[in-house]
Amino acid sequence: MLRIQVRGRVTRRILKLMAVGAITVLWASIGTALAADKAPAMPTPPKAEPRAIIKTKYGEMEIKFFSDLAPKTVANFIKLAKSGFYNGTIFHRVIPNFMIQGGDPYTKDPTKQDLYGTGNADDRVKAEFNDTPHKRGIVSMARSQDPDSASSQFFIVVEDTRHLDYKYTAFGEVVRGMGIADKIVQQPRDAKDNPLVRIEMTVTIVE
């Protein structure tokens, strides 16, 4: 009889310990689940901004865009580049210590040199003047006297030119290959600042 009582006590003790263990495991599981719910979600990596690659016979220039400062201008440039609009155009205006300019569709035709600098795309883009200083490397839109006449022509500043600030839409910056712009701006030119050799470009968008 004594053995049975002892064995019964041991059994009850074991069952009690098992119950306590099960509750402990349950609470641990609940705690883990709650901790997982409270854990901050991993941030989504920012989407890479598109960039432009301008290829010339002298090398490449890479441009990052100021989409937050000039969204319509950037969208227009990207649209034209993706359509192949710029391919075969040239840098038709080079002025040392100032800038190089391109993007005129007339420059695809060597027989239309008298029209260089007057061509544009079909659409015009309203001015998006911003606080970006026109320092070396800035890419900005060319235009006529009408502030809202920018279309396809653009220029790359090779020397700081602050008198252009708030008068032209800066929409990007050369982040690689400014030495190519330096080489282009030093090419021999005629009285209209047209280079004596054709400097064609191909513009692609990298996303």
The mean pLDDT value for 71-93 works out to: 98
pLDDT > 70? residue 55:
yes
Q: Which residues pair with 125 in a beta bridge?
A: 150
Do 146 and 172 belong to one domain? Answer: yes
Do 55 and 82 belong to one domain? Answer: yes
Can you give the CATH number for the domain in which 64 is found? 2.40.100.10
Q: Which residues pair with 205 in a beta bridge?
A: 52
Do 130 and 194 belong to one domain? Answer: yes
pTM over 0.85: no
The confidence band for 161, taking pLDDT boundaries of 50, 70 and 90, is: very high
Q: Under a CB-based contact definition with an 8 Å cutoff, are residues 77 and 154 in contact?
A: yes
Query: What's the CA dihedral at 153, 155, 161, 166 to 10 degrees?
Result: 40
Domain limits at 137?
51-206
Do 146 and 199 belong to one domain? Answer: yes
Q: What's the number of domains the chain is made of? A: 2
User: In this structure, is residue 173 part of a structural domain?
Assistant: yes
Do 22 and 96 belong to one domain? Answer: no
Do 5 and 58 belong to one domain? Answer: no
Do 24 and 74 belong to one domain? Answer: no
For residue 70, what are the CA distances in angstroms to 65, 120, 163, 183?
A: 9, 19, 19, 28
